[in-house]
Structure 1
């Protein structure tokens, strides 16, 4: 599926670059204004990218068709938002319930971040096709999505883990390497001026993140397609067997 993701990026390179530039601009603008709203805006952009990728895969067009409208976009947004809320509740509430409030802030954030990195792709592997149903025009619900997620759970989880967790991990590693070389890469603005090193790392980070979103979206879209094909095939075989019995 990595090859399919690369093919999607190549066919829609201009649009992907627009998303990367927009994400970078949001980070820079938020940092410049010392605003805390950049994260929510980036999350919405990530969902929009995921929606466009999945719609393109399900429609089989190869290129993003913006003129075709946004079928199922509302359901895609609130279902993904609900999944994220559940993950955050478990990743933050779980440690607090078991006494992690006594930890230092750094240790607590590290624990919550580690749990989030595991629980989020895990939950998406189980019910991540639920938001996809609206794009495909399907009426199936959460129970059907969970049934789809149980089949081939481990490969799906590993692919989603790679798409969601590895890009931030690589970005963090690059920042650590830059810091070890005496470059301050934790903020774009250094002393009132833009740091070229930090800006380059930001572009790389957002590019990797966008590629990861595209990959995870392709995985979930194909998961939905394969599951639906298998279900329809089994239903077709069952109907054929019943027809043979009553023939």
Structure 2
């Protein structure tokens, strides 16, 4: 599945360039404004990337063709379902944050909570991740359908998703840690000038995140296909 992920990225490289640049632009905007108002736009962007990747797997087509087939009518419910699953993972992982010892400090507590959230989200996706995917074809769109597909391949799916979602995040953190050893400012702009080192790290981190999102999308799309292929309704929907 990793090979398929890189194949999709290679065939749609221009889209990923736009995503990386867009992610960096949003980070610069947040830095200049002193706020994190772009989080919603970033979430929508990653959701759109995931939908395009899954459409590419289902239809064996480039992103441009997937966009024509899906359209806004299917993109909006896809995004809402993805948000619902993320909220579910947040609710599951929140008690962990609440019971962390205060002696750990804010940074460590946030890091542990983020790790717990990643794991919880991976497990939720393993069970119900094909729920948003079903919006692409319009077949098998209920939570019961998603649960049926998820339980059949839960263990291999959860292992792949945990690794695929956590490893890129860990590598991104390591890049920042390495950069900090050279006394580099963590800001993307220093005195109004580009911080080349941090911009490069930001671009690498954005690509790693895109890789993680794409890999997870491929894994979930394959689960969806294995659960629905063979049915006449799916064949008609995917045609």
TM above 0.5: yes
Partner residue in 1 for 2:210:
210
Deviation at 1:217, TM superposition (A): 0.8
SS at match of 2:141: coil
Q: Which of the pair has more CA radius of gyration?
A: 1
**Aligned residues of 1:53 and 1:64 also touching (Cα < 8 A):** no
**Aligned residues of 2:23 and 2:42 also touching (Cα < 8 A):** yes
Partner residue in 2 for 1:77:
79
Q: In structure 2, what is the Cα distance between the partners aligned to 1:35 and 1:112?
A: 21
RMSD, aligned CA: 2.0
Q: Compute the TM-score of the two structures, normalised by the length of structure 1.
A: 0.85
**Aligned residues of 2:100 and 2:109 also touching (Cα < 8 A):** no
Give the gaps of 5 or more residues in structure 1.
234-247
Deviation at 1:215, TM superposition (A): 1.1
Deviation at 1:35, TM superposition (A): 2.1
**In the alignment, does 2:158 pair up with 1:162?**
no
Partner residue in 1 for 2:116:
115
Segment drifting more, 5-14 vs 162-171 = 162-171
Deviation at 1:60, TM superposition (A): 1.9
Q: In structure 2, what is the Cα distance between the partners aligned to 1:139 and 1:228?
A: 8
Closer, same or farther in 2 for the Cα pair 1:131/1:177, shift >3 Å?
Answer: same
**In the alignment, does 2:91 pair up with 1:86?**
no
**Aligned residues of 2:56 and 2:63 also touching (Cα < 8 A):** yes
* Equivalences for residues 57-76 of structure 1 within 5 A: 57-65=57-65, 66-68=67-69, 69-76=71-78
SS at match of 1:64: helix
Give the gaps of 5 or more residues in structure 2.
233-239
* Equivalences for residues 1-247 of structure 1 within 5 A: 1-65=1-65, 66-68=67-69, 69-96=71-98, 98=99, 104-184=105-185, 186-229=186-229, 232=231
Q: In structure 2, what is the Cα distance between the partners aligned to 1:79 and 1:63?
A: 21
CA deviation profile, 1:73-118 (whole Å, cap 9, x unmatched):
121111110111111122224442x475786323431331221121
SS at match of 1:45: helix
Deviation at 1:195, TM superposition (A): 1.1
